[in-house]
Amino acid sequence: PMDRGVYWRISALDNLVFFGTLYGLSIKEARRRGLELLREFGLAERANDWVATYSTGMMRRLELARAMMHDPDILLLDEPTSGIDVDGKRIILDHIRKLKGKKTIIMASHDPQEIELADRVVYLNRNIVSALPTLKIVKVLVKGALPPLDGFRITDLGDGSYVIYASIDRFNDLIKKLASMDGGLKVVDLNVEVAFAERNARIEERMNRRGGVPWV
């Protein structure tokens, strides 16, 4: 959650024990599971500290630990590493990697490092999902030192900013290339151009309203 998902005026361990009992665990089971997860997320040394003293990254790790308390089969994650420190991000991404093949993970994200973990990527733009994929172009705004990228159209915006264009079927390849360029390049924004798909959707909507008679 982008807002707080744990109680600030109790310790991290007490939070996990509390939520564990809500998930149906006994207090003993919840304490054992809580300590295990705090170790996995690098929070064991701060287990008994009030959550109010935690950084944003530590809190995000604790919230993910809370979600894992009852060992769910499915995880729904909304930008799990957004706005946190590098070390916290690495810990969360490593944990997600360990869960691949063991859990079903559905993640909403604009972060290339998060997207790169996915086995399947679904692109949404104004409620149009994977419609007319050949017409969809992903635009990636980057800043920094951009090395040559064969097979991708690039527009130089000046001041070290570039827009990289990739078709949907080549987007995963592009993200992997960008994710490998540590330090010298920053992905600023992503956008999907679906102008034709949107136009066709509007025509269909108008046809339905007018009893099958199209107008543009």
Provide CATH code, domain 12-115: 3.40.50.300
The confidence score (pLDDT) of residue 149 equals: 84
Q: Where in the chain is the domain with CATH 3.40.50.300?
A: 12-115
Whether the per-residue pLDDT at 35 is higher than 60: the answer is yes
Q: Which residues have C-beta within 8 Å of that of residue 139, sequence separation ≥ 6?
A: 163, 164, 165, 190, 191, 192, 193
Count of positions (residues) in the chain: 216
At 125-166, the pLDDT tens digits run 555 554 444 456 778 888 888 888 888 889 999 888 999 988
How many contiguous H segments (helices) and E segments (strands) does the chain have?
7, 8
Whether the per-residue pLDDT at 83 is higher than 90: the answer is no
pTM given for the model? 0.60
The confidence score (pLDDT) of residue 132 equals: 43
